[in-house]
Amino acid sequence: MSLHLVNSCHSMPISPIFNPAGDDAIENRSIWFGNTTNLMQLNDVRYTWAVGLYQQMRENFWIK
């Protein structure tokens, strides 16, 4: 399998799924070209009600 970029000015680098050396500080977070650990951080969220909702959703999730 080969990957061909056509008329691309910038290509996105391939990043690992889990990056233990990543920096997830607020000033370094970015959707594109970010340097994240790919771990979901819920300690510093804008809406505090989202933490409880996420925990409840996680507890109700079943894999069949």
Residues 36, 22 contacting (CB under 8 angstroms): yes
* Residue 16 C-alpha from the chain's centroid: 11
Domain borders along the chain are 35-64
48 — pLDDT class (breaks 50, 70, 90):
confident
In this prediction, residue 25 carries a pLDDT of 76
List, for residues 8-25, the tens digit of each pLDDT value: 567 777 766 777 777 777
Q: Which of 46, 45, 42 is nearest to 55 (CA)?
A: 42
For the segment 36-40, the average pLDDT, to the nearest whole number, is 65
Would the pLDDT of 33 be above 80?
no
Residues 22, 15 contacting (CB under 8 angstroms): no
Residue keyed to tokens 């370094």: 28
